[in-house]
DNA sequence: TCCGCAAAGTTGGGGCTCCAAGTCTGTTCG
DNA sequence: CGAACAGACTTGGAGCCCCAACTTTGCGGA
């Protein structure tokens, strides 16, 4: 234990420990800035910075006018950072960053939600959604597929589809606050083998992603990525 | 475009755009705090905050005494946040957060690096590494496997293995600065079918992860996760 | 030409303050 | 009793300042 660690880290580590070991359960209030300065004998800057770090880690959430609280949902990791959320696919931007030319095509049509999508988007099964199929290509070769579903009243048509979801929602006055993803592996469906030129025996990564604005889901998508040739490099600053 | 957006966002968005569209190529210097305050007519707090946000996104990196630079490696996403890096496996902590009791066993032994691990850890193929096999269980049932490799001189033995890598390196005066992961899907090996009780035809997610301290790799591991039953929920604050 | 050193510039930790906007709570008034 | 309102708190944006530690650069002397 280095004695000259920044003081804000003392606060961060103490609160983080309490959250992880359950002393501060989900929903519990975190001391306010003013209380932290007194409790830990630090300046307001340090207290504020500690709260920001914990919020950035997703352990706590700040509510203006009320306070900071331990998040109730386990907040873990995204498959990509938020600046890349504004694309329909998690990995297309990554490849772009690696210098490969990524292009994509899409087409949209209205569909009935059905029970499964109804649950994912918290709408009635008979509601109409806009379904958009995407195919991403890197240097011409197929990379990944994505199918996105949005409630009809939120979908914007025409040229606007080129813009990302976050930007489009922004113009509607809706702020995306959260993204939830789940990932699993499965054998490809025939259409996927075809579209992605999959070799025999190769499975796919299936990412199910939902964008939330508060407690309301505004978009959900299924992203299908070939499981063999695809090795994405992530890296992360500590 | 909302006119009352925070001013720091103007700076963030402008610089981010320049990085993404290539105006600021990898390695290019970002204007300093002082320069940003002049260029964008903002206070030091806003300039500083903008740089911190961009650094947090992994787009730029700050070097004390020198400046901020566009990162040369595409910095994308981790499979888990750094607070969970301090575990040998990406998903064990997630399950713990979901209320499932996670336990694990491990055993270590010295091995010769060989060409592949030598490359991953930037050591000679004849160097000796400490290999540690882990098996993670959730409520008694096998969840995932991990195999971790460390240069012999960095591995700490005995009780200390219970502590996470980041903490152990900290005591050695080594600061982990980066984590790089790649993920792909493949059929399981016989030993994996056995250890994970995999059903026929189920593939596994294979995560290859390396911890870096500056430009020196200090640990690399292979994490094997069943691809079927495993649906991890991530979520992320925006 | 090369070396060493000092000055200037830069990050990151910390401190303090002001303010808008939102939430909470307790009291007063109809 | 119930509704409305005022005052106390809280977050998040923003500004300005000081300082330690580190890097870069340019200058002067050998």
pLDDT tens profile A57-81: 778 899 999 999 998 765 444 433 3
Detail the DSSP E strand segments found in chain B.
29-30, 60-63, 67-70, 102-112, 128-138, 141-151, 178-186, 204-213, 216-226, 232-237
- pLDDT at residue B26 tops 90: no
**Which chain C positions come under 7 Å from a protein C-beta?**
9-17, 20-24
Closest residue on chain A to B12 (Cα): A83
Cross-chain residue pair A81–B77, CB shorter than 8 Å: yes
pLDDT tens profile A165-195: 766 676 666 777 677 777 788 999 999 999 9
Please state the pTM of the whole predicted model: 0.73
Rounded Cα distance between A185 and B224, Å, is 12
Q: What is the mean pLDDT of residues B150-166?
A: 66
pLDDT tens profile A26-35: 899 999 999 9
Among all protein residues, pick the one whose CA is nearest to the C1' atom of D13.
B6
Q: Which of A80, A63, A62, A61 is nearest to A71 (CA)?
A: A61
Instruction: Return the SS3 of A125.
Output: coil
Q: pLDDT averaged over chain B?
A: 79
Q: What is the pLDDT of residue A231?
A: 52
Q: How close is the nearest chain A Cα to the Cα of B86, in Å?
A: 12
The residue of B184, B208, B217 whose CB has the most chain A CBs within 10 angstroms, and thus the best one to mutate to test that interface, is B184
Rounded Cα distance between A183 and B171, Å, is 35
The answer to whether some atom of strand D lies closer than 7 Å to the beta carbon of B9 is: yes
Sheet holding B178-186, edge to edge: A234-237, B178-186, B204-213, B216-226, B141-151, B128-138, B102-112
Question: B37 or A167, which is more confident?
Answer: B37
Q: Work out the angle between the directed axes of helices B44-57 and B33-40 (0-180°, nearest 10).
A: 110
Cross-chain residue pair B76–A73, CB shorter than 8 Å: no
Residue among B81, B166, B185 minimizing CB distance to A228 = B185
Rounded Cα distance between B46 and B43, Å, is 5
Residue among B181, B208, B238 minimizing CB distance to A176 = B238
Complex-level ipTM: 0.73
Q: Which of B143, B157, B155 is nearest to B218 (CA)?
A: B155
Residue among A56, A74, A180 minimizing CB distance to B94 = A74
Among all protein residues, pick the one whose CA is nearest to the C1' atom of C9.
B65
- pLDDT at residue B40 tops 60: yes
- Tally A–B CB contacts below 8 A: 190
Q: Which of B225, B226, B222 is nearest to B200 (CA)?
A: B226
Judge whether B184 and A234 are in contact, CB under 8 Å.
no
Q: How close is the nearest chain A Cα to the Cα of B161, in Å?
A: 17
pLDDT tens profile B87-113: 555 555 555 555 566 678 888 899 999
Task: Give residues with Cβ within 8 angstroms of B186, minimum separation 6.
Answer: A227, A228, B203, B204, B206
The answer to whether some atom of strand D lies closer than 7 Å to the beta carbon of A164 is: no
Identify any residues that bridge with B234 across adjacent strands, giving them in sequence order: A181
Tokens of B146: 């991990």
Sign of the C-alpha dihedral computed for residues B77, B82, B85 and B91 taken in this order: negative
The answer to whether some atom of strand C lies closer than 7 Å to the beta carbon of B58 is: no
């Amino acid at each position: 234990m280095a004695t000259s660690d920044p003081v804000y880290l003392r606060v961060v580590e103490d609160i983080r420990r309490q959250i992880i070991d359950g002393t501060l359960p989900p929903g519990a209030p975190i001391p306010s800035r003013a209380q932290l300065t007194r409790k830990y004998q630090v300046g307001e800057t340090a207290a504020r910075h500690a709260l920001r770090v914990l919020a950035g880690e997703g352990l706590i959430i700040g509510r203006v006018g009320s306070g900071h609280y331990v998040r109730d949902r386990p907040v873990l990791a995204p498959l990509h950072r938020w600046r890349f959320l504004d694309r329909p696919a998690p990995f297309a931007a990554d490849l772009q960053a690696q210098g490969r030319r990524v292009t994509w095509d899409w087409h949209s049509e209205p569909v009935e939600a059905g029970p499964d999508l109804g649950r994912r988007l918290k709408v009635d099964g008979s509601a109409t959604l806009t379904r958009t199929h995407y195919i991403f290509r890197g240097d011409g070769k197929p990379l990944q597929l994505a199918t996105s579903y949005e409630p009809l009243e939120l979908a914007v048509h025409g040229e606007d589809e080129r813009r990302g979801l976050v930007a489009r929602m922004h113009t509607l006055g809706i702020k995306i606050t959260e993204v939830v993803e789940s990932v699993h592996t499965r054998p490809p469906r025939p259409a996927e083998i075809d579209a992605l030129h999959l070799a025999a025996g190769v499975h796919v990564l299936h990412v199910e992603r939902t964008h939330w604005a508060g407690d309301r889901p505004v978009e959900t998508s299924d992203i299908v990525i070939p499981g063999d040739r695809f090795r994405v490099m992530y890296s992360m600053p500590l």
